[in-house]
């Protein structure tokens, strides 16, 4: 096992949350409110004053750091930046950044950041939980460095600095400079076994998954170079990798500048307002000038999802670096992640379910094992694998018949919108994920599906497959009238024989054959319910994502496509997979997979970014997720549920929050258009917000990035036109 370290700081500065607060406070309404409630003004004034000075300073710092990073000589430190270096509450000064960078570069030393965490001896499992948030307004004494945790990251011992991930979500030039420096120094130095690899925390310092993914690849490359045996000369980071770092850094910093510039003006106006009001309210201010608002939430208002998902909206165009290839373009047999699923005795699915006798039995065993072997190898090589013709065209038709019968009961899929696991809501956001789904339970090897899937009451009858939802179950098998056009014969309705077989054969293949061929799958022991999904066409899509980012136990995603023959590229709905071996940047070009009927696509649920490109025709699939026994049992034991599930479980509050957002805060979807807002709308926001239940209010406040529920309520009641527009634009960027 390799055992080495990279250390880098990933601290993010607090001010970015402050200056991006979407809720502008309207002066006249403050005054009006002040008449009623004295401390409101105090609250507003302190909120505003808090932002004072920081954006300007930050902007200067970023500019300076950038100049210096790009090799230009540092400007003499200004008094403000020089003084900031001694204060734990101020943003880092440019000269601090540059000093650090220069030192690291010159000495080829690992960055001494976060006191180059002393590795702890590996606990039994890596801790991936973020540490509890530190207060956003630093106190006079610096926060203690969070304890690192150590575990495995592929074959490498990894120590993860437990910086609260919430704080790492926003752009941090400092973190970026550190990352780049780390990589550069790594490439020049053989890391020692005492060093600490913090890939995870470095990745988390990027605001979008595509950036962090790129960074991860670059880090891996840097590490790889550092590990090349090079007796005579030190390993050199190749120019193109360096160039990518520089581009990434440039881009990130430009972005920071843009944001800051935009906000600076706004902040200045706010500060001025704040000062005016603070002066007017001095009698009601607290004597020590302390802040009487709640500590700012560490939850940034940007939901994780959309930043990860939308390449078009994404500020960093990953695709332009790594253009897609089609399966067909992966020329050699070895390169192609595809294995034929047909045998001379029929499709793999049917062979798996049939019983053979004598020598035929032995032969078929061999055939199946050899297929599994191939699939296992493809998976290990590419992180994903395709089995073509796993079921026959005729079976696809049967499956579609069964599915068509229940299609009226499909409902819009939902995604988790909000920052982190604890704050947000499960809502339908068609621009991010446009499929409709129906969960089917039954046939479980073990029934422990309680976290993310529907886990309905398992149907009676061994291995039966039924809709999980009782309401749907009742209707299936009685009358389903598709728009009054077609009635389905009672003998077919409510029976899912073909689906049951298809899932059984997948289970057999995965549990009994494949799991023995791939170490990553050796502990598969159960699976989720089956998800029937249709992308109804009209551009419906699922933006780039990784299925399991919360260690919920899912290890292998298996999809069986159920489309009629002749699906072509023009129909859209391609599965784009960022496969490839972990360490190989080159292998990470996305591969486009047509959703051909009978084809199975599988990939590691926890590693593989993928997306469904806009579908122009109805596109059908059934998906099952296979669980890693240990990760799953840990997730169940910890109740992955208590974070996300706690909120997710509260269906009513979520529906309420979702309704509120749709009725008041969701724009008409076009970011570019300055939508007009009238008085009635403004009043309505307040009225409806006042009527929200406590739980729904918490969800809404979390999504909007308000520091507290109370703050959101205040703001909702004092919403002015511009604030609402901004808020809507912000939400529409999230895909809401």
Binding site for Fe ion (CB under 5 A): 547
Task: Note whether 119 and 161 are within 8 A (CB).
Answer: no
185 three-state secondary structure: helix
Q: Is 432 in the site for ligand AKG (CB under 6 A)?
A: no
Determine the distance from the C-alpha atom of residue 332 to the mean position of all C-alpha atoms in its chain, rounded to a whole number.
33
Q: Is 544 in the site for ligand AKG (CB under 6 A)?
A: no
Shortest Å, Cβ 695 to ligand AKG: 27
Which of Fe ion, ligand AKG, none does 13 bind, CB closer than 5 to 8 A by kind? none
Determine the distance from the C-alpha atom of residue 604 to the mean position of all C-alpha atoms in its chain, rounded to a whole number.
15
Nearest 5 degrees, angle CA 339-CA 343-CA 349? Answer: 80
Contact pick of 436, 554, 599, 610 for ligand AKG (by CB under 6 A):
610
Which of ligand AKG, Fe ion, none does 212 bind, CB closer than 5 to 8 A by kind? none
Q: Are strands 384-388 and 338-340 parallel, antiparallel or unpaired?
A: parallel
Site for ligand AKG in 64-93 (CB under 6 A): none
Which of Fe ion, ligand AKG, none does 256 bind, CB closer than 5 to 8 A by kind? none
Task: Note whether 274 and 49 are within 8 A (CB).
Answer: yes
Task: Note whether 116 and 274 are within 8 A (CB).
Answer: no
Shortest Å, Cβ 557 to ligand AKG: 7
Looking at the Cβ atoms of 609 and 707, the one nearer to Fe ion is 609
What is the rounded CA–CA span in Å between residue 277 and residue 275? 5
Shortest Å, Cβ 613 to ligand AKG: 10
Q: How would you label 53-76 residue by residue, b for 16+ Cβ within 10 Å and e otherwise?
A: ebbebbbbbbbbbbbbbeeeeeee
Looking at the Cβ atoms of 375 and 533, the one nearer to ligand AKG is 533
Q: Please choose, from the candidates 616, 510, 635, 634, the residue with its C-alpha nearest in 3D space to the C-alpha of residue 571.
A: 616
What is the rounded CA–CA span in Å between residue 478 and residue 493? 8
Joined together, the tokens standing for residue 101 give: 């960078």
Shortest Å, Cβ 479 to ligand AKG: 30
Torsions phi, psi of 355, nearest 5? -105, 130
Joined together, the tokens standing for residue 482 give: 């598709």
Which of Fe ion, ligand AKG, none does 426 bind, CB closer than 5 to 8 A by kind? none
Site for ligand AKG in 226-265 (CB under 6 A): none
Shortest Å, Cβ 335 to ligand AKG: 21
Shortest Å, Cβ 719 to ligand AKG: 36
Looking at the Cβ atoms of 547 and 606, the one nearer to ligand AKG is 547
Site for ligand AKG in 19-48 (CB under 6 A): none
Per-residue DSSP letters for 317-352?
Answer: -HHHHS--EEGGGS-STTT--EEE-EETTEEHHHHH
3-state helix, strand, coil in the chain (%, to 5): 45, 15, 40
Task: Note whether 525 and 446 are within 8 A (CB).
Answer: yes
Which of ligand AKG, Fe ion, none does 217 bind, CB closer than 5 to 8 A by kind? none
Shortest Å, Cβ 147 to Fe ion: 33
How many beta carbons lie within 10 A of that of residue 31, not counting itself?
A: 12
Task: Note whether 185 and 31 are within 8 A (CB).
Answer: no
151: Cβ contacts below 8 Å, ≥ 6 apart: 122, 123, 125, 126, 127, 157, 158, 160
* Size of interface with ligand AKG, in residues (CB under 6 A): 9
Task: Note whether 399 and 609 are within 8 A (CB).
Answer: no
Determine the distance from the C-alpha atom of residue 212 to the mean position of all C-alpha atoms in its chain, rounded to a whole number.
11
Shortest Å, Cβ 575 to Fe ion: 9
Q: Is 621 in the site for ligand AKG (CB under 6 A)?
A: yes
For the chain, what is the radius of gyration of the CA atoms?
A: 28
Site for ligand AKG in 565-584 (CB under 6 A): 575
Shortest Å, Cβ 259 to ligand AKG: 31
Looking at the Cβ atoms of 526 and 623, the one nearer to ligand AKG is 623
Q: Is 559 in the site for ligand AKG (CB under 6 A)?
A: yes
Site for ligand AKG in 518-537 (CB under 6 A): 533
Which of ligand AKG, Fe ion, none does 61 bind, CB closer than 5 to 8 A by kind? none
How many beta carbons lie within 10 A of that of residue 713, not counting itself?
A: 18
Q: Is 623 in the site for ligand AKG (CB under 6 A)?
A: yes
Q: Please choose, from the candidates 227, 101, 122, the residue with its C-alpha nearest in 3D space to the C-alpha of residue 175.
A: 101
Which of Fe ion, ligand AKG, none does 575 bind, CB closer than 5 to 8 A by kind? ligand AKG
Shortest Å, Cβ 284 to ligand AKG: 53
Shortest Å, Cβ 603 to Fe ion: 9
Shortest Å, Cβ 559 to ligand AKG: 5
Looking at the Cβ atoms of 406 and 601, the one nearer to ligand AKG is 601
Question: What's the length of the chain?
Answer: 736
Which of ligand AKG, Fe ion, none does 621 bind, CB closer than 5 to 8 A by kind? ligand AKG
Which of Fe ion, ligand AKG, none does 559 bind, CB closer than 5 to 8 A by kind? ligand AKG
632 three-state secondary structure: helix
Looking at the Cβ atoms of 302 and 621, the one nearer to ligand AKG is 621
Contact pick of 311, 398, 547, 606 for ligand AKG (by CB under 6 A):
547
Shortest Å, Cβ 570 to ligand AKG: 17
Across 536-608, where does the E strand assignment appear? 540-545, 554-561, 575-577, 591-593, 600-604
Which of ligand AKG, Fe ion, none does 623 bind, CB closer than 5 to 8 A by kind? ligand AKG
Question: What are the beta bridge partners of residue 140?
Answer: none
Q: Is 311 in the site for ligand AKG (CB under 6 A)?
A: no
Shortest Å, Cβ 143 to ligand AKG: 37
Contact pick of 187, 612, 622, 727 for ligand AKG (by CB under 6 A):
612
Task: Note whether 603 and 509 are within 8 A (CB).
Answer: no
Which of Fe ion, ligand AKG, none does 612 bind, CB closer than 5 to 8 A by kind? ligand AKG
Distances (CA, A) of 302 to 501, 674, 732: 43, 20, 11
Q: Is 496 in the site for ligand AKG (CB under 6 A)?
A: no
Looking at the Cβ atoms of 45 and 417, the one nearer to ligand AKG is 417
Shortest Å, Cβ 417 to Fe ion: 16
Q: Which residue is nearest to ligand AKG (CB)?
A: 575
Shortest Å, Cβ 542 to ligand AKG: 5
Residue 608 is given by DSSP the state -
Joined together, the tokens standing for residue 530 give: 């089956």
Instruction: List the x/- string, 345-374, binding to ligand AKG by CB under 6 A.
Output: ------------------------------
Task: Note whether 58 and 260 are within 8 A (CB).
Answer: yes
Shortest Å, Cβ 193 to Fe ion: 37
Say which residue the tokens 């605001």 belong to: 207
Joined together, the tokens standing for residue 632 give: 């799953």
Contact pick of 15, 542, 660, 712 for ligand AKG (by CB under 6 A):
542
Write down the H helix ranges in 487-628: 497-507
677 three-state secondary structure: coil
Looking at the Cβ atoms of 5 and 383, the one nearer to Fe ion is 383
Give 192's Cβ-side CA count (13 Å radius): 8
Looking at the Cβ atoms of 453 and 547, the one nearer to ligand AKG is 547
Looking at the Cβ atoms of 213 and 547, the one nearer to Fe ion is 547
Q: Are strands 481-482 and 411-412 parallel, antiparallel or unpaired?
A: unpaired
Looking at the Cβ atoms of 180 and 612, the one nearer to ligand AKG is 612
| Interacting residues toward ligand AKG by CB under 6 A | 533, 542, 547, 559, 575, 610, 612, 621, 623
């Amino acid at each position: 096992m390799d055992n080495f370290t990279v250390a880098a700081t990933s601290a993010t500065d607090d001010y970015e949350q402050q200056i991006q607060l979407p809720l502008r406070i309207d002066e006249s309404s403050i005054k009006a409110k002040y008449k009623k409630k004295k401390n409101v003004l105090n609250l507003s004034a302190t909120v505003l004053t808090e932002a004072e000075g920081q954006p300007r300073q930050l902007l200067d710092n970023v500019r300076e750091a950038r100049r210096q990073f790009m090799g230009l000589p540092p400007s003499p430190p200004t008094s403000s930046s020089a003084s900031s270096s001694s204060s734990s509450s101020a943003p880092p000064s440019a000269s601090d950044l540059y000093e650090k960078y220069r030192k690291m570069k010159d000495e080829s030393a690992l960055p001494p950041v976060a006191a180059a965490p002393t590795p702890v001896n590996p606990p039994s499992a890596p801790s991936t939980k973020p540490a509890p948030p530190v207060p956003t307004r630093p106190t006079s004494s610096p926060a203690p460095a969070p304890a690192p945790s150590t575990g495995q990251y592929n074959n490498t011992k990894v120590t993860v600095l437990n910086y609260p991930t919430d704080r790492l979500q926003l752009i941090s030039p400092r973190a970026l400079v550190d990352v780049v420096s780390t990589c550069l120094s790594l490439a020049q130095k053989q890391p020692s076994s005492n060093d600490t690899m913090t890939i995870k925390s470095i990745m988390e310092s990027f605001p979008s998954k595509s950036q962090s993914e790129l960074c991860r690849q670059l880090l891996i490359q840097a590490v790889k170079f550092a590990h090349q045996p090079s007796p005579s000369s030190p390993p050199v980071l190749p120019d193109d990798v360096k160039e990518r770092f520089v581009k990434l850094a440039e881009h990130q910093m430009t972005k920071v500048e843009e944001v800051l510039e935009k906000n600076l003006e706004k902040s200045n106006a706010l500060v001025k307002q704040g000062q005016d009001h603070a002066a007017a309210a001095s009698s009601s201010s607290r004597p020590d000038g302390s802040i009487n608002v709640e500590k700012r939430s560490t939850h940034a208002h940007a939901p994780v999802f959309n930043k990860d998902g939308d390449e078009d909206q994404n500020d960093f165009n990953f695709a332009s670096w790594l253009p897609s290839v089609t399966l067909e373009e992966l020329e050699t047999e070895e390169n192609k992640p595809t294995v034929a699923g047909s045998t001379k005795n029929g499709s793999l699915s049917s062979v798996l379910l049939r019983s053979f006798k004598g020598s035929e039995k032995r032969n078929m065993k061999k055939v199946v094992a050899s297929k599994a072997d191939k699939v296992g190898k493809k998976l290990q090589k590419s992180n994903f694998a395709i089995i073509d013709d796993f079921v026959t065209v005729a079976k696809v038709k049967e499956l579609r018949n069964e599915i068509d019968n229940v299609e009226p009961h499909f409902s819009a899929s939902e995604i988790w919108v909000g920052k982190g696991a604890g704050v947000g809501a499960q809502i339908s956001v068609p621009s991010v994920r446009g499929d409709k789904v129906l969960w089917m339970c039954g046939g479980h090897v073990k029934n422990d599906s309680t976290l993310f899937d529907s886990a309905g009451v398992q149907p009676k009858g061994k291995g039966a497959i039924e809709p999980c939802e009782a309401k749907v179950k009742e209707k299936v098998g009685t009358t389903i009238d598709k728009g009054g056009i077609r009635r389905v014969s009672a003998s077919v309705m409510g029976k899912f024989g073909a689906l049951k077989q298809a899932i059984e054969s997948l289970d057999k293949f995965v549990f009994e054959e494949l799991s023995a061929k791939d170490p990553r799958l050796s502990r598969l022991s159960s699976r989720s319910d089956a998800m029937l999904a249709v992308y109804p066409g009209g551009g419906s899509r699922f933006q780039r994502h990784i299925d399991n980012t919360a260690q919920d136990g899912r290890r292998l995603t298996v999809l069986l496509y159920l489309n009629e023959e002749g699906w072509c590229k023009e129909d859209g709905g391609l599965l784009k997979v960022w496969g490839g071996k972990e360490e190989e940047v080159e292998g990470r070009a996305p591969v486009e997979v047509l959703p051909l009927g009978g084809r199975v696509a599988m990939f590691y649920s926890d590693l593989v970014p993928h997306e469904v490109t806009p579908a122009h025709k109805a596109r059908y699939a059934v998906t099952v997720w296979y669980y890693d026994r240990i990760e799953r049992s840990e997730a169940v034991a910890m109740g992955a549920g208590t974070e996300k599930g706690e909120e997710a479980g509260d269906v009513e509050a979520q529906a309420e929050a979702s309704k509120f957002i749709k009725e008041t805060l969701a724009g008409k979807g076009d970011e570019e258009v300055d939508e007009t807002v009238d008085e009635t709308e403004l009043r309505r926001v307040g009225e409806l917000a006042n009527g929200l239940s406590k739980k729904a209010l918490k969800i809404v406040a979390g999504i909007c990035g308000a520091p507290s529920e109370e703050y959101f309520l205040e703001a909702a009641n004092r919403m002015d036109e511009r604030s609402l527009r901004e808020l809507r634009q912000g939400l529409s960027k999230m895909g809401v």
